[in-house]
Amino acid sequence: MAEAPALRPEGTETPALRLEGVTCTFPSPDGRGSTYTAVQGVSFTVAAGEFVSIVGPTGSGKSTLLNVAAGLLEPSEGRAFAFGQLVNGINPLAGYMFQAEALMPWKSALENVAAGLEFRGVSKREAEERARPWLARVGLDRFGDRYPHQLSGGMRKRVALAQTLIVDPKIVLMDEPFSALDIQTRQMMENELLDLWSADRKSVVFITHDLEEAISMSDRVLVLSAGPGARLIGEYPVDLERPRDVAEIRMTPHFLDLHREIWGQLREEVLKGYAQTKLK
Amino acid sequence: MAVARTKRLPSRPVILLLQVAVLIGFFLLWHVLTATNILSPFFFGTPLAVLERTWNDFASGVIWYHLGITLLETALAFAIGTVAGIAFGFWFARAPLVSVVFDPYIKAVNALPRVVLAPIFALWLGLGIWSKVALGVTLVFFIVFFNVYQGVKEVSPVVLANARMLGASNRHLFRHVYLPSALSWVFSSLHTAVGFAMVGAVVGEYLGSAAGLGYRIHQAEGVFDTVGVFSGMLVLTIFVVVIDVVVTVIEKRLLHWRPQEAQTTNAQG
């Protein structure tokens, strides 16, 4: 049997996500008509099935880039493409896991997970039937009828993860999703995320300020400079073998080499960012 | 189960007992003061006479008609005021220009003591139930309006962005995000709104009508029948307490998703 002909030769496959010269300028919070440029001329691509982390000091506009990729924010300059399509309005191929609490507090865990399917026209009953295995997959099958305030921070993140993944987004955008968790819960969640990800290899853009988290999870780490006008200043492939255990991999010599190399560059930016916040 | 050390209260039956004791104490004091003529029974009535009158009114059934009228007015005022408040609250919250332009007028009308409108409504709508309903609506509307406005405005932008990323259309956002958020604010003001609906009904009846609890009290006052006035007040109080219990039950059912932190303030076990 002949395979369907490949539309593109190997190697020039359409990237899952491509940002081209993205610049985002906001009105300054002091309201005097001055402006603040968060990110300046940022371009990068994420291949299909690739796990990319973006690290940078606080206030370097990491979330801004994610919002552009999600279509929640229109960049002042530049464009974003998802599988070759210009992102204009909400990016329908992307799922977004937010840093802050994003669950609907008036819906139970099960209803929250089912919401995305319901929005896509699936009947409520069927959506909840399909949400059940997802709750089980994040280890919360017994907590379906709990409301978000009745769950712990880690449990809420799991619900949010299931909620994001159930609609099968081709691109998953994650904005420091585990930053509010304690270190043990966090490493558990990181491993769970890697497990889920390895099952069907979606493209992931993972924002974090934690370099160890970035290296242990990703295929590639991008480094943003300190804001304002943050630019991409470094790109590091992470050639650690998979599957990984995020806690164990941190002890390997190769991990430490990578960490030392990237930290060498990131530290300067962190110091710059720190100096700027002190000046204000 | 662990109990916070600082807020330790006696158990619920004990509290109930104490509450009943306060009631009995009040009636005893009243009885003693009027029986010994320290307070004149003509001006203050006597508790036994008031209880007897109330009992007779219920037993003979005359009161049920008036109670029914007041209840009907209260329910209509509440329903109309709430629906209008929700509709306008949504409209104003989603249309910033409208809200900015009308802001001073809304505040001005809300600052007006609504009692002065009662005679106008009686003139426009007659002495039947609708003038009372109108008065109640002017009170309920603003409470609900401001709460819905707030509820829609205060929807977390992250929850909103999350719903949109999950594929919610504008209709979905209304149904799954704005409405539940606004309703939670409406329900938190339910006690006040129902209370105001009843104030509107009773005050309206008091100022001019042919039926209802307010009318009964007004009638009794007209002939210096203090026992009748106090009996009317007693019935009114029982009415309010019953409605409040019903509202609490509804509120608990509808807001079960919210954290229960107000447990200590209303001691609902």
Residues of A in contact with B254 (CB under 8 A): none
The A35-46 sheet, strands edge to edge = A35-46, A17-27, A77-82, A85-86
Structure confidence by residue, pLDDT tens digits, A30-45: 667 788 888 999 999 9
Q: Length of chain A in residues, anyone?
A: 280
Q: Which domains does chain B have, with CATH numbers?
A: 13-39 (no CATH), 45-258 (1.10.3720.10)
The fourth-level CATH superfamily of domain A17-93+171-279 is P-loop containing nucleotide triphosphate hydrolases (3.40.50.300)
d(CA B38, CA B29): 11
ipTM field: 0.88
State the Cα torsion B48-B52-B53-B57 to the nearest 10°: 160
Q: What's the angle, vertex CA A164, arms to CA A162 and CA A166, rounded to 5?
A: 60
Contact yes or no for A120 and B156 at CB 8 A? no
- With 60 as the cut, is the pLDDT of residue A4 above it? no
- From first to last of its 269 residues, what are the pLDDT tens digits of chain B? 455 555 677 888 899 999 999 999 999 999 999 989 888 888 888 899 999 999 998 899 888 999 999 999 999 999 999 999 989 998 998 888 998 899 899 888 888 888 888 889 988 998 889 999 999 999 999 999 988 888 888 889 999 999 999 999 999 999 999 988 888 888 878 888 888 898 899 999 988 888 888 999 998 988 889 999 999 999 988 888 888 888 888 888 877 777 764 433 333 33
Cβ neighbours of residue A8 closer than 8 Å, sequence gap 6 or more: A14
CA distance A268 to chain B (A): 32
Q: Which parts of chain A fold into alpha helices (H)?
A: 62-70, 109-119, 124-137, 153-165, 183-200, 211-217, 246-249, 253-279
Structure confidence by residue, pLDDT tens digits, A161-200: 999 999 999 999 999 998 888 888 889 889 989 998 998 8
Task: State whether residue A147 sits within 8 Å of chain B by CB.
Answer: yes
Quote the DSSP letter at residue A9.
Answer: -
> Do β-strands A17-27 and A77-82 pair in parallel, antiparallel, or remain unpaired?
antiparallel
State the Cα torsion B218-B224-B225-B229 to the nearest 10°: 40
pLDDT of residue A1: 40
Residue of A119, A120, A156 to mutate for B, most B C-beta atoms under 10 A: A119
Residue with more model confidence, A13 or B162: B162
Partners of A20 in the β-ladder? A79
Q: Considering only CA atoms, which of B100, B49, B73 is closest in space to residue B204?
A: B73
Q: What are the residue ranges spanned by the domains of chain A?
A: 17-93+171-279, 101-168
Task: State whether residue A107 sits within 8 Å of chain B by CB.
Answer: yes
- A102 with A70: CB under 8 angstroms? no
Task: State whether residue B162 sits within 8 Å of chain A by CB.
Answer: yes
d(CA A90, CA A1): 40
Q: Long-range pairs for B121-130 at CB < 8 Å and ≥24 separation?
A: B121/B204, B122/B204, B122/B207, B122/B208, B127/B208, B127/B209, B127/B210, B128/B209, B129/B69, B129/B72, B129/B73, B129/B76
